[in-house]
Structure formats: C-alpha cells, structure tokens
Structure 1
Amino acid sequence: MSDDNSPDTSLTPQNKYQIGPGLGLLLMGLLYLIFWISPLVYESLTEDLRWSHNWVYSLILITIGASFYQKTVVSRTIAIVQASLMPLTASGAFNTTFMTIVALVILSTWFIVVLIERKNNSPLLNQRISQRTKNWITMHSLIVCWMLIAHMGLVFFIGRLPFESQLDTIGTGLGESIGFLLNLPIERHDLVTYVFDINLIILAVLFGYEQFKVGYNLKNNPWPKISFRFLWITVVLGLVLVPISLQGIIP
C-alpha cells in the first residue's frame, strides 16, 4: 500500500478544518479534566481520592487526541504508551494518584517531543526509519490506541462489575477495601460510568472502522466534516452530563 518513495506527510496538517477523531478526543479529554478538577466534584475527591482515576482517563484522551495531529513515529509511539495506561488504570491494578503522575509525565514528554520536531521542522528518527516503516507505524499505532480506549469500558463490564459486589461485601466484613477496590471506587450503582463506558466502546469501534476506510492516507485527504466519530463524541458528552445532573452532582 505504500513504498519508500511515498511522500513524508508527518508534519502536514491532517485537513483544512482539523476535524477528525483527534479533535473529538481532545475536546472530550479537556472537558473531562475540567470537570474532575472543578469545585463540582471537590467534595467527592476529598472524601475518596480513588475517583482521581478520572484524571488519568482524561490525560490519556488528551494525549491520543493531540497525537492525531502530530503524525510522526515518536509522537504516535508515545500515544500508545499513554493509551496502555487505560487498561492498567481501569483494572485497579495501581494507585490512581500514581497513575495520574505517570500520565502527566508522558503527556509532558509528548509536548516536548512535538516542540522539538516543530522547531526543527523534522520528525525525530526521520533519517533512521524507512518511509514504509513510518507509514506503517503511524497508522497502526492509532489502531492500537482505539483498541486500548475501548478497554476502559471492557475492563469495567468484564473484569470489575461481576466481582465488585462480592469484593465490597468481603471488604466491609474485614473493615477495609480489597482487590481492585483498593484503588477504584464502587461504581456498579453509578449510571454515569455505564453511559460513558458503553459509548466509549462504540466510539472505539467507529474509530477503527473509519481508520480502516482511510488507510494510510498518504495524501492527507480530509476527514469528513461530520463523521460518525465526531457525532458520537457529541452524543457521549450529552449523555454523560444528563445522568450526572440526575444524580445530583451538578446542582
């Protein structure tokens, strides 16, 4: 599908209006982060810092969304590393405050790399990797990111939800949290979690489908102005805010 003589479009803008999956994820991540550092949830966070896992999720979405507009090997590789934090955080395997720090470090590293590449007007490792390899990495790295994004919902529904009640009961008897509840709050009664995770899985599927249609996109053809992914991101934001309001988090 590509060869070493194909043009290097690493630093070429994706399209005139910059509309695509990157814009949607970037907006979602920013709004997500703003909400979870706002006074609206201050009481919830001070009472239970395990809710800080939402900080990690938002930083991951921001990094992946931004990397869509920096089509270079190093940028997209960092995005994969950041996206890999999604299943690790969603599984409750690590302290979420620690994971937040890791996500911040990775995002900061990504920004530094982008600044260097933009300043030099040349991607890092540009001369050491063939154009064919660069094309392959920059496209497939996004596919991996879409898959890892879906793990936020998949891990909740498959790895946590079936066992949360049992762990909660045992932990209550012992007087302490056990298992993944050491690092994650109880969410089986949280309507917001269900809505967000279901829609995020749908989004990941749509991302993968449209990425398959676009392929390597060597000519940087414009993405649709109103695509399924952008539409679903808007729907997700709306659906998330409604149940939050119903639960009384927003007065």
Structure 2
Amino acid sequence: MDLTAVVTGAARGIGRSVVTRLRAEGYRVVAVDVSPAVADLAEDGRVVPLPADVTAAATPDAAVARAIAAFGRLDLLVNNAGRFLRRPILDTTDDEFDALFAVNVRPAFRFARAALPHLTDAGGCIVNVASISGLIGVPNQSVYAMTKGAVVQLTRQLAIECAGRGVRVNAVAPGAVDTEFMAEARAADPDPAASLAVTLSNHPIGRMSTPDEVARAIVFLASPESAGITGTILSVDGGYVAR
C-alpha cells in the first residue's frame, strides 16, 4: 500500500531532501513551501507541490485536504519549515521574537492538529525538525533556541498524548547542516570564514551534516524499523552535544 506524507519547508535544504528520500521509498508527498520553487518537485503525480505560507491559518487544513483528495490517506507529517536568527538577546526586537515563533512553532502545532485525525486512522507518524539549539545553550541564539525548545517539548507532549491513538511522534535535532539556509546565515556574519571554522571545530566529525543525512534519519523515524520509538529527539549533529 502506498503511503502519503505532508512535508513543510519542502522547496530546499532538508525539506527537499526529505521529499526526494520519501519519493524513493515509495511515498506520495504533498510538498508545502512559500517559495514558488516548490513547483519544481512535481513528479509523475506522486509529488504534489502546494505553494503556500505555513504561517497562514488556512494552510495546514489545505495541505491535509490536498493529501486526502489526491491520495486518499495521510501517514506521515514532517514539520520542517523554519527560520534562523542569530542575534544577542539585547539586540532582538519584539517583532523578531514574534516572527520567529510564528514560523518555527505555531505551524508545527497547527499542522499536527490538522493531520492527527487522519494519522490516527492510518496509525501514522509525525516527525518534527528541531535543533541542537533546542537542547543546549548556544551563544546569540536565544530566541531561535526558544523556538526549537518549544518544538522539542511539543514532540514529547504529542508523543504521550497520541500514543493511545496509535500515532508516534519524534523529532530530529540537527547541528550545522550544509544548506543554503546555513550559508545565508553565515554570509551575514562579520567574518564568515572564522564563523565556519568555529562551526566545524564544534562538530567532532569535522564537518557539517548533509541534508540527506538528516532526511535519512527522518525517514527512519517514520519507518517500521522504529516502531518502538516515540517521544525521542534524535540528534544528527556529528557529535556536537556529546562533547
């Protein structure tokens, strides 16, 4: 039986790799992203792009409805959409605080709420994309870390709340990942080369993870091989939090 997933933040980086990996595993996918580039993922009717803003109240229900209309079921939700902010707390405005929570936290809640009735029918899964910043302290990431800490706790709470429904809920917590998202953040640093050197030194394996490495962890958490796993935060961080 073909399985169906909804993936947010699907146009590039980790989200795009998740769509590619799920497609290779035989999933049908509704790929959600505010970027028109999400249309590039359309393939043989098995990947249906949905250009939409995840912060809009109507988007979660629209994405779930698209999955049911196109494929008749929903088995997996991957809450991947997010933004990064590296800023000392003294320089962070209320508007920046609100904007980051609006992208990184509220959509994960809304998409889970929209998806759960259908995931319960399928005995499905939710995999959230958190961050090591939600597990440990990282300089100049106070608000970003708060949002990812909220995603970590949402994961644990939903795992407990949904266990009786037959739905598993887990998260991945990436360290630095070699994506455009990370490159754009680094380009804003006063000394990008020095920033990269610090990043690499903080990862014992000496490099950033690839988007596909994170995607493979997500697919594992959605697979029967992880049937006994729920409420877990799986770090994909090259050993960062083990130091």
TM-score > 0.5 by shorter chain: no
- Give 1 or 2 for the bigger CA radius of gyration: 1
Structure 2 length-normalised TM: 0.34
Structure showing the higher helix proportion among its residues: 1
Structure 1 length-normalised TM: 0.33
Structure showing the higher strand proportion among its residues: 2
Higher relative contact order (CA 8 A, sep 6+): 1
